[in-house]
Structure 1
């Protein structure tokens, strides 16, 4: 328990995101009455999942889908990645900026899915995780650490995305691209520049998502 308390104290945003994902999945498991593919028999999963044709009626799915998972294995892999990578990025950026960048990354992954994979139902934190992997490179660079490990992590996961079945290609690429754009701002010296960059990227993504939801256009 001491280790958990220390983790939460040091990186509260990462702990909170993981807790929301785990609690959401547990609810779907209860609703579906299984520890297997909970997504397909859960009303919460249907409400939170991202699916293009249904998106105008559930625009919150652009964010909520990143907190929903297909089954226990899907959840476990993503949470391990989140707890390891998120910890390092949050410690570097600070909790507030990290949380803003994480939510923006969720929106970026969803925007890419709606643009290029409209008819495929999608859930999972991996879109945002791809953004965090890019941010981890920036965190290592800022600390003066060897960049080979985080770069290898990004390359390996991009390769896996193209080679594996059942993963969201466009969700992963959306997160990756969002992470790259955000990293142009996140590691600048000026706090105003860092926050302004995140706000600008978020505004662009929200405008696109609003258009996709039929708010205008």
Structure 2
């Protein structure tokens, strides 16, 4: 009988390696890790990097040191001119309401000095979305479509919208002082003339040929004073306001440019409102 050598003991069983899960979505398994912080990230959290992927937090941290692109005059870079398309849509929708409902829309939104003096201050701006005819809205919409996107990309969404609204307010303010007290006026023409003035100033600032826009402004001013039934106050007030604001925005010093531009916009608003309140007091006194 021969003896057998004792059998060697079996190695202990190794525990299975735990599958890592995304640090933001613990229910999702993943073997991909952020190249910066080495945390596991799922496909929804992967951001392309120069090598591999990074997590959203590391991408945000890295972007803090990157200077954000700006438009020509300090606003955010504009891809799609959303403000222009929105203004066009509002004009069309209100005109559709005028067509369906009738004069009630005009009575509620039109600008007339006595109505503003009696406390209906919304008319100073709402009149810019009401139009008297198909030709009226077609011309203003065409002008906004042609000029608006260029200025929106030059100034950024917010500055451009402020320029548009304040130009409309500038036209209404001049109307407060020189239009008959009970004469209603409607249309975006004050704002459009403000954009005409602005694009002239911007073109000069960028050393571009301004003869075309100068001829356009001159022709429209001629029509303003030759054709009856057109509010010269809205056109002139909008033109002067738009040109002045565009100059303040375009020629603001680069150091603290945003501060200078905000001060110009707020200052213009304060001046226009002061003129409205002074005129409102005079109108109320005359009606007493």
Q: Into which bin does the TM-score normalised by the smaller protein fall?
A: 0.7 to 0.9
Query: 2:90 is matched with which residue?
Result: 20
1:171-210 to 2 correspondence within 5 Å? 171-188=234-251, 189=254, 190-210=257-277
Query: 1:167 is matched with which residue?
Result: 230
* 1:127 pairs with 2:190: yes
* 1:103 pairs with 2:103: no
C-alpha contact (below 8 Å) 1:88/1:139 kept by paired residues: no
Range 183-192 or range 84-93, more displaced? 183-192
Please provide the CA RMSD for this pair.
Answer: 2.0
Query: 1:158 is matched with which residue?
Result: 221
Q: CA deviation at 1:63?
A: 0.4
How many pairs does the alignment contain? 201
Q: Return the alpha-carbon distance in structure 1 between the equivalents of residues 136 and 79 of structure 2.
A: 26
Query: 2:106 is matched with which residue?
Result: 45
* 1:140 pairs with 2:203: yes
Q: CA deviation at 1:213?
A: 4.2
Q: CA deviation at 1:9?
A: 5.4
* 1:116 pairs with 2:183: no
Unaligned runs of 5+ in 2: 1-77
C-alpha contact (below 8 Å) 2:164/2:242 kept by paired residues: no
Q: Which has the higher helix share?
A: 1
Q: Return the alpha-carbon distance in structure 2 between the equivalents of residues 109 and 101 of structure 1.
A: 12
User: Please, what TM-score do these two structures have when normalized by structure 2?
Assistant: 0.65
CA deviations on 1:145-167 (whole Å, 9 max, x unpaired) are 21111111111111211111121
Q: Return the alpha-carbon distance in structure 1 between the equivalents of residues 166 and 236 of structure 2.
A: 14
Q: CA deviation at 1:139?
A: 2.2
Q: CA deviation at 1:88?
A: 1.4
Q: SS at the partner of 1:10? A: coil
Unaligned runs of 5+ in 1: 1-7, 33-41
Q: Return the alpha-carbon distance in structure 1 between the equivalents of residues 242 and 191 of structure 2.
A: 8
* 1:85 pairs with 2:129: no
* 1:94 pairs with 2:161: no
Q: Which has the higher contact order (CA 8 A, sep 6+)?
A: 1
Q: Return the alpha-carbon distance in structure 2 between the equivalents of residues 57 and 128 of structure 1.
A: 22
User: Please, what TM-score do these two structures have when normalized by structure 1?
Assistant: 0.86
Q: CA deviation at 1:184?
A: 2.7
CA deviations on 1:42-98 (whole Å, 9 max, x unpaired) are 212111001122222421000000111012221111100111111111111111101
Range 97-106 or range 136-145, more displaced? 136-145
Q: CA deviation at 1:174?
A: 0.7
Q: Return the alpha-carbon distance in structure 1 between the equivalents of residues 149 and 135 of structure 2.
A: 21
Given the superposition, is the C-alpha separation of residues 142 and 184 from structure 1 closer, same or farther in structure 2, using an over 3 Å criterion?
Answer: closer
Q: SS at the partner of 2:85? A: helix
